[in-house]
A and B are shown apart, each in its own frame.
Chain A
Amino acid sequence: MGALRFILNDDDVEITEIGATTTLLDYLRLTRRLRGSKEGCAEGDCGACTVLVGRLRGGELAYETVNACICFIGMLHGTHVVTIEHLSPANGPLHPVQQAMVDLHGSQCGFCTPGIVMSLYGLWMRNPRPTVPQIEIALQGNLCRCTGYAPIVKAGLAMSSYGDVAADPLVAHREAMLARIRGLQDGQTVDIGVGKNRIIVPATVDELARIYAETPTGTLVSGATDVGLWVTKFMRDIGPMIYIGHLDELHAIREAEGELVLGAAVTYSEATGAIERHFPQLGELWMRIGGGQVRNAGTIGANIANGSPIGDTPPPFIALGAHIILRKGNERREVRLRDFFIAYGKQDRQPGEFVEQVRIPYLPAGEKLACYKVTKRKDEDISALCGAFRVFVNDDGNVGMIRIAFGGMAATPKRAVAVEEALIGRPWTTTTIEAAIPAFATDYQPLTDMRASAEYRLLAAQNLLRRFHLETTGSAERLSKAVA
């Protein structure tokens, strides 16, 4: 029933039958023969397929970069998809961002270039005169193998002198497009196709709860930054696919008394402001989760529900004592986040049950918090390890409370209980820290894999405790990382 409706560049699209696993990139390239967007990796890591997707966010139309290679068509209901072909007419002048790229020699082989242009275009619309760090953040999700990036960054610095943002069609005609987008929504659940090609886009969270309870074998999809790879790399079927990324209620960010409450479908990008306000200690981590395209798509609820041992939000949220609200039908229950992760690939989630909210208590006055993500490459890399530390030191100088949690060190995100035990009640001094260091080996027996050896993981984890201690006692030396 119903149909998927979206706008592709200037065209209205209505789809009543399509594979649940059909990606936007394949749809563009194979069905629509729009071949400006390229496939470089089919896993959302290179950005050659970057497009803009305009979505309704709090009544506004917000355009964000998205990796078309891991975005399913079912995720586009009620959106405006903008591809590289939309930027300049076939025989007309180039778009200002494009002309800057030409004049500053920002393309060599040109294969990454459409994606780079789209990322710069997205940046230009919200920030026409970016700084170098802001450009670098906008390009975190775009690989270029030829140029060494210097001319691309120069193009980003120069683009404002090539044209006025206000004259850009997406800006100038925003209201008209907003009206068209609103016109696509009829408030009804979309449910098309059958079996592995069934796509369900529920109209409300209550609808979602009802449908998922009835169809617990369905795959919940919010940003598809992981589920996308089940399809593109493992060729798994995901139908019935139940999309939840559009549900306003799941996008709610409530800065409540005592806690931050995030709807499960809040993306990293959407949460950035609230995180920076309430947990400035997580600001650096936040901007090093994936690249822009991944932060625009990936959701906090899914980062948790996915159960990965290397997700980046569980360590700090566990250290902060977060809870999650699980819902099945109309039943809800609240679980401590640390208890949600049972074993590798196993979480405390029943069939038909989904994460609805994440509740993160604010840091009580006087407590210190830090989170460190350690990777091979600074940006857009999966953590070798990610450690979160939270301490309260009593007036007498002894540790009154300590919470340490790591990702990448065990089969699940995990508290360092033995280390905490070795610290609690003792003086917050180098001597105590050094005495606690051996306890890491009790808490963690990490793996050796392509990201890091067990030896490195354990040593770096121990050093992160040393770093946390140094920083809380005033002698901080750190490399500056991705905060613009």
Chain B
Amino acid sequence: MNKMEVKVPATGRLHESTPHDSAAKQVAGRAEYVDDITEPEGTLHAYLGLSTKAHAEIASLDLDAVRAAPGVVGVLTAGDVPGENDISSVHKHDEPVFAETLVKYWGQPIFCVVAETRDAARRAAKLARIEYRDLPHVTDVAASRKDGGKLVTEPLKLERGDVEAGLARSKHRAKGTVTIGGQEHFYLESQIAFAIPGEDDEIFLHMSTQHPTEIQVMVAQVLGVPHAAITVNMRRMGGGFGGKETQGNLFAVVAALAATKFRRPVKIRPDRDDDFQITGKRHDFVVSYDVGYDDDGKIEAVAATFAARAGFSADLSGPVTDRALFHCDNAYYYPHVRVNSLPLFTNTVSNTAFRGFGGPQGIMACERWIEQIAYALGKDPLEVRKANFYGTDDRNVTPYHQTVEDNIIHRVVEELERSSDYQKRRAAVLEFNRTHAVLKKGIALSPVKFGISFTATWHNQAGALVHVYRDGSIHLSHGGTEMGQGLHIKVAQVVAEAFGVPVASVKINATNTGKVPNTSATAASSGTDLNGMAALDAANQIKARMEAHTASIYEVAPSDVHWEFGGIRAGQQFVPFMQLAESCWMNRVQLSAAGFYATPKIHWNRASGTGRPFYYYAYGASCSEVTIDTLTGEYQIDRADVVEDVGRSLNPAIDIGQVEGGFIQGVGWLTTEELWWDGKGQLRTHAPSTYKIPLASDVPREFNVWLADWSVNKEPAIGRSKAVGEPPLCLAYSVVEALSMAVASVADYKVHPNLDMPVTPERVLLGVERLKREKAA
């Protein structure tokens, strides 16, 4: 690469590429994470004692050796909880802090030990003598259904039209089952909590969490104190991906319990292996379907059941499985549809939010039946896709009765088809497969439509706090949390643009429940949409006061006051921003404001399965080409072209980073990231040595990523941008389908491979062998 291509940092204006606000600190190792904070004198360290059974009664719990271990200050069990021994984020009372009489998964916390050092606590935790009486356990979807299919929360049904009639009159039917694996978040920074006791019942927590308010609520609930006693501070996470939406609750309440009991600061940080064992993951699904369609592959009716491994408690499994159903249509119109969810109880960690929140699993299932239809008809799956795309004026109502008003999927896909040279390359792939015996290629182009908003409508609110100081510097706090996604720089850009000052004038502060209360999780891709608008509201309040003040002291009409970059103009007079701030202060004008935003238009009736749960949709498409080795099943991604609709980007560099990162994370989920439980119900892929997320060398050999820069959000979202966090992850499906095509080549594309996800090398090889047998038969 030559010097010409080295980018120069931009000014930070809205819609311009600007580096992440913490980048310079991060590359220097000076960005502070919770474990980097200098501990106050006397800080203690807690460690959890975990169940070594998937399902059992606790016959006896002997912690004498733990208490007697060197450096140990004390232990905590369920009996030490002054408030409620429960941290269910949906208040179902099914998630104890410490198991009392029954353990429901391997790795469930039973006690915690508090010691002078983390090492001492960790060693002591191993000394517990626990006797169990084994109970039968169910680890996966199949076992759970066989055992009666107990649900952890109420299922959902979406229905439109007459499915039975639709299926009956369809010329063809695609029936089958698709298995979609789970995924460990593998945030590089594991869970951590640091609680510092204050006066009276106060606790101050430094957290790595996507949801400071929920940490506050849970700590208050477990300690039995008012919310107001608890303050949660959150500067940055070393990755979240949904894994720190509810999964930090346990660590926060344990640290707070210990800090309360011992009146000393307490930190808790699990080892990576324990983090894997204790915390929830992406839900794996088994989806069974029956789809009716015609000779063109046009779908008439869809009936499907989405069964998910929810784990031992409800956690977020309700909304996650809901969102899977909300995305069972991806970008396609179904004249008749009925889909059901089954959030199944299993003796495993309680599965939870993970980037996409069930949506990706819905899309994977949908794309799988599209693929099956194409194989049955001998068509390119892209043709079948096009035949089923939502229309713009008709064929535009979703299974949940929301009308798709902003459909741009046709243009997105057409542009990608052209720019990726899809048709020509597909022909070349077919030719390659004719002339090669061991290596086989595949190519696929798949779309994504993703609904943006929390489907729990009340979460679609946000607050912000903005202060302008006398020197013109600006303090920004909002309810969103920074996990690397660039939320803070985007919101700072919004505020800087509003005041017409350089982004460097805006000081980004830690998220703090004492500054902005009652916040929503930074989740559902909504961080910028919600908090950007709230911050803008705060800025506009201050601006209005500044404008009125300016008109008054310069004695001009309010209409003669205009904002310019760097200050304000009153008639012929230009007042630099710093001077304006000072002048406001001298004249007793309030320079602080709390902003608020609630997403308009949305509503959702879960009982009837109707409404407008989504404010708008984000669109995208990807084209992937792969090569497989039919002797070992190993493969590589030769090329991927990815286009994502982010509306009018607030910061293209940050958005591209989300698209690239999301796509690769999706590739990992669907290829090498395999969760594997043994017969005793213990997760055996519990560290990077056994659980394989992508490396640099797994990135497509040619990787072209761009934004649909012509797209403008039809809704007046912040800067007419669109959310970007989750949708790109779903784009990785094209890799699966390309692998599928390569496998299918060994049977002349006549057998639909229906590979389980993740498509590991093993599954590719076993798929190749199966198709060869079927071809021979």
Residues of A within 8 A of B (CB): 26, 29, 33, 35-43, 45-46, 48, 83-85, 87-88, 90, 94, 97-114, 117, 135-137, 139-140, 142-154, 157-158, 161-162, 232-233, 235, 372, 374-382, 384, 449-453, 455-456, 459-460, 463-464, 466-467, 470, 475, 477-479, 482
Query: Nearest CB to that of B241 among chain A residues?
Result: A145
Q: Give the residues in chain B near A107, CB-CB below 8 Å.
A: 20, 22-23, 26-27, 484
By the criterion CB–CB under 8 Å, are B27 and A43 in contact? Answer: no
By the criterion CB–CB under 8 Å, are B1 and A117 in contact? Answer: no
Q: Give the residues in chain B near A42, CB-CB below 8 Å.
A: 271-272
Q: Give the residues in chain A near B185, CB-CB below 8 Å.
A: 145
**Measured CA separation A151–B19 after assembly (Å):** 12
By the criterion CB–CB under 8 Å, are B28 and A105 in contact? Answer: no
What would 9 more interface pairs be, CB under 8 Å, given A110-B20, A378-B636?
A: A40-B189, A40-B272, A42-B272, A102-B24, A105-B653, A109-B240, A148-B665, A372-B632, A453-B762
A-B contact pairs, 27 of them (CB 8 A): A36-B30, A40-B272, A43-B689, A45-B687, A48-B188, A94-B24, A100-B6, A103-B9, A104-B6, A105-B20, A107-B23, A107-B26, A109-B238, A111-B33, A111-B188, A140-B696, A140-B697, A146-B657, A148-B661, A148-B662, A162-B6, A377-B695, A382-B689, A450-B690, A466-B631, A467-B632, A478-B629
B439 at the interface (CB under 8 A from A): yes
**Measured CA separation A100–B769 after assembly (Å):** 47
- Give the residue among B636, B694, B696 with the most A Cβ atoms within 10 A: B696
By the criterion CB–CB under 8 Å, are B6 and A158 in contact? Answer: yes
Per-position contact with A for B237-273: 1 when CB-CB < 8 Å, else 0? 1111100000000000000000000000000000111
Interface-facing stretch out of B313-321, B409-417, B571-579, B698-706 = B698-706
Q: Which residues 22-78 of B have a CB within 8 angstroms of A?
A: 22-33, 35-36, 38
Q: Which residues 585-644 of B have a CB within 8 angstroms of A?
A: 627, 629, 631-636
By the criterion CB–CB under 8 Å, are B696 and A38 in contact? Answer: no
Query: Nearest CB to that of A110 among chain B residues?
Result: B26
Q: Which residues 486-534 of B have a CB within 8 angstroms of A?
A: 486
Q: Give the residues in chain A near B189, CB-CB below 8 Å.
A: 38, 40, 109, 111
Per-position contact with A for B531-552: 1 when CB-CB < 8 Å, else 0? 0000000000000000000000
By the criterion CB–CB under 8 Å, are B23 and A105 in contact? Answer: yes
Least Cβ distance of A91 to chain B in Å?
Answer: 10
A143 with B33, Cβ < 8 A, contacts A101-B23, A377-B672 known: no
Least Cβ distance of B254 to chain A in Å?
Answer: 19
Q: Give the residues in chain A near B190, CB-CB below 8 Å.
A: 40
The B interface is mostly helix, strand or loop, or mixed, namely loop
By the criterion CB–CB under 8 Å, are A158 and B1 in contact? Answer: yes
**Measured CA separation A479–B437 after assembly (Å):** 13
Least Cβ distance of A61 to chain B in Å?
Answer: 23
**Measured CA separation A30–B606 after assembly (Å):** 51
Contact of A43 among B663, B685, B688 (CB under 8 A): B688
Q: In which size bucket is the chain B interface? A: 35 or more
- Give the residue among B25, B35, B484, B627 with the most A Cβ atoms within 10 A: B484
**Measured CA separation A372–B438 after assembly (Å):** 15
**Measured CA separation A412–B620 after assembly (Å):** 49
A136 with B696, Cβ < 8 A, contacts A378-B634, A464-B631, A479-B629 known: yes
Least Cβ distance of B633 to chain A in Å?
Answer: 7
B385 at the interface (CB under 8 A from A): no
A149 with B239, Cβ < 8 A, contacts A107-B27, A470-B438, A479-B635 known: no
**Measured CA separation A111–B192 after assembly (Å):** 14
Contact of B484 among A108, A152, A382, A449 (CB under 8 A): A108
By the criterion CB–CB under 8 Å, are A46 and B688 in contact? Answer: yes
B777 at the interface (CB under 8 A from A): no
B187 at the interface (CB under 8 A from A): yes
By the criterion CB–CB under 8 Å, are A380 and B695 in contact? Answer: yes
By the criterion CB–CB under 8 Å, are A456 and B23 in contact? Answer: no
**Measured CA separation A149–B236 after assembly (Å):** 21
Q: Give the residues in chain A near B674, CB-CB below 8 Å.
A: 376, 450
By the criterion CB–CB under 8 Å, are A148 and B693 in contact? Answer: no
Least Cβ distance of A141 to chain B in Å?
Answer: 9
Contact of B485 among A36, A108, A450, A453 (CB under 8 A): A108
By the criterion CB–CB under 8 Å, are A153 and B696 in contact? Answer: yes
**Measured CA separation A450–B2 after assembly (Å):** 44
By the criterion CB–CB under 8 Å, are A41 and B660 in contact? Answer: no
Least Cβ distance of B436 to chain A in Å?
Answer: 6
Contact of A102 among B23, B35, B696 (CB under 8 A): B23
**Measured CA separation A472–B7 after assembly (Å):** 49
Query: Nearest CB to that of B660 among chain A residues?
Result: A148
By the criterion CB–CB under 8 Å, are B654 and A110 in contact? Answer: no
**Measured CA separation A38–B38 after assembly (Å):** 15
**Measured CA separation A88–B24 after assembly (Å):** 11
By the criterion CB–CB under 8 Å, are A147 and B3 in contact? Answer: no
Q: Give the residues in chain A near B635, CB-CB below 8 Å.
A: 479
A377 with B692, Cβ < 8 A, contacts A36-B28, A111-B239, A140-B697 known: yes
Q: Which residues 742-777 of B have a CB within 8 angstroms of A?
A: 760-762, 765-766, 769
B676 at the interface (CB under 8 A from A): yes
B357 at the interface (CB under 8 A from A): no
By the criterion CB–CB under 8 Å, are B676 and A85 in contact? Answer: no
B126 at the interface (CB under 8 A from A): yes
By the criterion CB–CB under 8 Å, are B484 and A376 in contact? Answer: no
Q: Which residues 377-409 of B have a CB within 8 angstroms of A?
A: none
A148 with B762, Cβ < 8 A, contacts A90-B30, A117-B27, A479-B439 known: no
Q: Give the residues in chain A near B23, CB-CB below 8 Å.
A: 101-102, 105-107, 110
Q: Give the residues in chain A near B438, CB-CB below 8 Å.
A: 467, 470, 477-478
A158 with B5, Cβ < 8 A, contacts A98-B27, A145-B187, A148-B660 known: yes
Q: Give the residues in chain B near A140, CB-CB below 8 Å.
A: 695-697
B92 at the interface (CB under 8 A from A): no
A35 with B29, Cβ < 8 A, contacts A109-B484, A479-B627 known: yes
Least Cβ distance of B435 to chain A in Å?
Answer: 10
B173 at the interface (CB under 8 A from A): no
Query: Nearest CB to that of A161 among chain B residues?
Result: B3
By the criterion CB–CB under 8 Å, are B484 and A41 in contact? Answer: no
Query: Nearest CB to that of B761 among chain A residues?
Result: A376
By the criterion CB–CB under 8 Å, are B187 and A41 in contact? Answer: no
Per-position contact with A for B180-215: 1 when CB-CB < 8 Å, else 0? 000001111110000000000000000000000000
B427 at the interface (CB under 8 A from A): no
Per-position contact with A for B445-462: 1 when CB-CB < 8 Å, else 0? 000000000000000000
**Measured CA separation A39–B688 after assembly (Å):** 13
Q: Give the residues in chain B near A375, CB-CB below 8 Å.
A: 634, 761
Query: Nearest CB to that of B117 among chain A residues?
Result: A30
Per-position contact with A for B107-118: 1 when CB-CB < 8 Å, else 0? 000000000000
By the criterion CB–CB under 8 Å, are A161 and B27 in contact? Answer: no
A143 with B188, Cβ < 8 A, contacts A84-B28, A102-B19, A233-B273 known: yes
Q: Give the residues in chain A near B662, CB-CB below 8 Å.
A: 148
Q: Give the residues in chain A near B31, CB-CB below 8 Å.
A: 110, 113
Nearest first, the 4 closest Cβ-Cβ pairs linking A and B are A36-B29, A109-B484, A111-B238, A110-B26
**Measured CA separation A374–B698 after assembly (Å):** 15
Contact of A379 among B2, B25, B697 (CB under 8 A): B697
**Measured CA separation A232–B35 after assembly (Å):** 18
**Measured CA separation A85–B694 after assembly (Å):** 28
Least Cβ distance of A20 to chain B in Å?
Answer: 13
Least Cβ distance of A281 to chain B in Å?
Answer: 17
A154 with B631, Cβ < 8 A, contacts A94-B28, A233-B271, A479-B439 known: no
Least Cβ distance of A418 to chain B in Å?
Answer: 21
Q: Give the residues in chain B near A106, CB-CB below 8 Å.
A: 23, 27
Q: Give the residues in chain B near A85, CB-CB below 8 Å.
A: 28-29
Per-position contact with A for B89-122: 1 when CB-CB < 8 Å, else 0? 0000000000000000000000000000001001
A88 with B692, Cβ < 8 A, contacts A48-B188, A145-B665 known: no
Query: Nearest CB to that of A480 among chain B residues?
Result: B636
Q: Give the residues in chain B near A101, CB-CB below 8 Å.
A: 23, 27
Q: Give the residues in chain B near A48, CB-CB below 8 Å.
A: 188
